Amino acid sequence: MSAEAIAELNGRPVELSTAAPDPDSETAWMADGNCRLHPPATFFPSDGVGVDKARKICRDCPVTGRCLEFALTERIDHGVWGGCSERERRRILKTRRQEATASA
46 is a domain residue: yes
pLDDT digits (tens, 9 = 90+) for 29-40: 999 999 999 999
* pLDDT for position 24: 77
Helix (H) or strand (E) holding 58: helix 48-59
76 is a domain residue: yes
Check residues 26 and 42 and name the one with the higher pLDDT. Answer: 42
The values of phi and psi at residue 6, to 5°, are -125, 135
CB count in 10 Å sphere of residue 82:
22
96 is a domain residue: yes
Q: How far apart are CA 86 and CA 90, in angstroms?
A: 6
Q: How far apart are CA 15 and CA 6, in angstroms?
A: 5
pTM value? 0.76
1 is a domain residue: no
43 is a domain residue: yes
Domains contained in the chain, number: 1
- The percent of residues above 90 in pLDDT, for the chain, comes to 70
Q: 40: domain range?
A: 6-19+27-103
* pLDDT for position 14: 54
Question: Contact, 45 vs 88, CB < 8 A?
Answer: no
36 is a domain residue: yes
